[in-house]
Amino acid sequence: MSLRQKLSLGFGGLVVIIAAIGIHSISRITALGESIDVILRENYRSVVACQEMKESLERMDSGAVFVLLGAEQKGNDQIVQNEARFEKALRIELGNITLPGEGAKAALLKELFQQYRSDIRVMGDPAYGREARRKAYFNGIQPLFQRIQDTADDILRMNQQSMVEMDARARLQAMSVRRQMYMMLLAATLVAAGFLFLTGKWILNPITRLIQSSREIQKGNLDLVVPSASRDEIGQLTEAFNEMAAGLREFRRTDQARLLRIQRSTQQAFDSLPDAIAVINPEGEVEVATEAAKEAFGLKSNVRVRDLPYPWMDSLCEESLASGRIAERKGAQAVLQRFVGNEERFYRPRAVPILDSGRVPAGVVLVLQDITQQRRQDELKSGVISTVSHQLKTPLTSIRMAIHLLLEEKVGDLSSRQSDLLVAAREDADRLHTIVEELLDIGRIESGKARMDLQPLPPQRMVLEGLGPYRSAARDQGVSLSVDAPEDLPMVWADPTRIAHVFANLLSNALKYTQPGGRISLSARPEGRMVRFQVSDTGIGIPGKYLPHIYEQFFRVPDQGPGTGAGLGLAIVKEIVEAHGGTVGVESREGAGSAFTFSLRRTDTPSMEAKPS
């Protein structure tokens, strides 16, 4: 028997029992409802009608008494009003005869009331005096009143007795229905228990065996075979499971050698890489590493990163795992110096997350890029530039002096054409002198020979003094200036002359690339242990692909006008700010302006207790 047939048998029996219980319950509840409806429809209406007649009759009798006492108008009005109520209730009773003998009583009640209504009219006839009315009341009306009341009470008692009897029958019927429901529910419970027992035998036990086998396979035990005792779907699933286990065993045998070859070739390829690279699992253990990583940083297999004497390494890995993004060291700590085999080497570390198909970090690749050669090339380039700059400075000074003397006509008169040529030569010589000075300035800062005279300065004053020389130029150009620097900002360590140079570079660039009608904003805000300054504009902006290079030496954004600079201004800004212990940044969108930022250290933080040198 198939699994579907077994399930159909069990669930079909339950469905039949539930349907039988439902049909039986509906029929018995319907019968019980009809019994209650009979009580309400046949007896209750008669009881209410009899009570209404008795009450109306009593009020008519009270009206007759009022007439005898002299309140004729009030008494006659009450008699007429309640006579109509009595007739209405009497019609209801006559139309609801349901019990044996009730019809005769109702007919007698009608006959007595007709006589009573005829006799009581004496009370409203002015031809009768008070004494005649009194005799008529006590001799005729009062006895009729009593007979009518007794007859109505008889009908009332008959219907009440019927209601009691029908209520008892309904209770017995309800008890019978309840007993039958208990019996049927017991039968359904027994059938369900039997089905659950069979379900455990047919379905649950084989599935439990499959689950246990799956866990064994998960542990690596591929040699097990699940016994199959049936030919239903569970048996077919068991056979398919055994076939899968056999296929996995074959796969393991055929792929172990290939995986070993791949692992060895991967390790060899890994070892051939020049940089120090290590793969770190989520628990912080090294899984594989290059020879350079092992030699320089001790990143050997199964070593925990947090056990190594490099706290920054563990921090980088944790940051990359937590954020799912590349983590790098910033500022002056971006480059590490290590001595490997008595040789000085420089590394730039970063942690790259390994993301699974659900974009969840499954590990980290720790890359320590060896930039020793690049560093040496930079030092060589800086040395060459410094040497060339020094060599150019003296002859350039002589050239500028000669041009100056010629333009002042100290050595003879000049024609207008000669003057124009000399003016152009003077501008080019001044531009070349600026470039040489900037190169020398960068060289001095990079080499540490440029002394920083750091002083505690208020940020608001720095912003206002930096903006001062450019107010007139901005006004002439039609560009508005705004400042947002609160007076209560903490003081920062800064060299006034060098920081003035930073503001000058950033503001001159902002004015150069902001059209008339635009706006330039300067702001200062506290940010942790630093104060962040920002120079933003509504100019032409910088394409995103050029932003990573904006602070590099000699870099100029293409297609942004001829300009006169050599691409050294922002490089000098970066060198000055980093010499202060701060950082620089830029945000820009083409056509929407730019925002250049730099930060300076506060004087009130715990790490700034002593004045930096």
561: left (phi over 0), alpha (psi -120 to 50) or beta: left
Region 121-150: what's the mean pLDDT?
A: 84
Higher per-residue pLDDT: 168 or 225: 168
pLDDT for 37 equals 60
Region 346-366: what's the mean pLDDT?
A: 82
pTM for this entry: 0.40
What integer best gives the mean pLDDT of the chain?
Answer: 77
Find the helix or strand (DSSP H, E) in which 513 lies.
none
Region 426-447: what's the mean pLDDT?
A: 63
How sure is the predictor about 609, in pLDDT bands with cuts at 50, 70 and 90? Answer: very low
In this predicted model, what pLDDT tens digit does every residue of 90-122 receive, in sequence order? 888 888 888 888 888 889 888 888 888 888 888
**Sequence-ordered list of residues with C-beta below 8 angstroms from that of 452, at least 6 positions apart, any chain:** 495, 498, 579, 580, 613
Q: Are 529 and 599 in contact (CB under 8 A)?
A: no
Cα gap 305→286, rounded to integer Å: 7
Cα gap 516→565, rounded to integer Å: 21
Cα gap 407→414, rounded to integer Å: 8
How sure is the predictor about 192, in pLDDT bands with cuts at 50, 70 and 90? Answer: confident
pLDDT at 354 over 70: yes
DSSP code of residue 329: -
pLDDT for 612 equals 42
pLDDT for 613 equals 39
pLDDT at 153 over 50: yes
In this predicted model, what pLDDT tens digit does every residue of 261-290 receive, in sequence order? 666 666 666 566 667 888 888 888 888 888
Cα gap 17→87, rounded to integer Å: 56
In this predicted model, what pLDDT tens digit does every residue of 445-480 receive, in sequence order? 555 555 667 889 999 888 888 888 888 888 888 888
457: left (phi over 0), alpha (psi -120 to 50) or beta: beta
Find the helix or strand (DSSP H, E) in which 599 lies.
strand 594-601
Cα gap 123→119, rounded to integer Å: 8
Cα gap 233→241, rounded to integer Å: 12
Poorest-pLDDT segment among 237-251, 270-284, 554-568: 554-568
Higher per-residue pLDDT: 172 or 236: 172
Region 37-65: what's the mean pLDDT?
A: 81
Which residues make beta-bridge pairs with 138? none
pLDDT for 271 equals 61
pLDDT for 68 equals 84
pLDDT for 597 equals 92
pLDDT at 532 over 90: yes
Burial of 43 (0-12, 13-18, 19+ CB in 10 A): buried
Q: In 10 A of CB 421, how many CB atoms?
A: 14
**Sequence-ordered list of residues with C-beta below 8 angstroms from that of 541, at least 6 positions apart, any chain:** 588, 589, 590, 591, 592, 593, 594
Lookup: tokens for 92: 């209801």
pLDDT for 611 equals 42
Give the chain's largest Cα–Cα span.
166
pLDDT for 533 equals 93
Residue type, 564: T
User: What spatial distance separates the first Cα and last Cα of the chain, rounded to whole Å?
Assistant: 91
pLDDT at 220 over 70: no
Q: Which domains does the chain have, with CATH numbers?
A: 3-192 (1.20.120), 273-370 (3.30.450.20), 377-447 (1.10.287), 455-608 (3.30.565.10)
Cα gap 153→148, rounded to integer Å: 9
Residues in the chain: 613
**Sequence-ordered list of residues with C-beta below 8 angstroms from that of 43, at least 6 positions apart, any chain:** 98, 99, 159, 160, 162, 163, 166
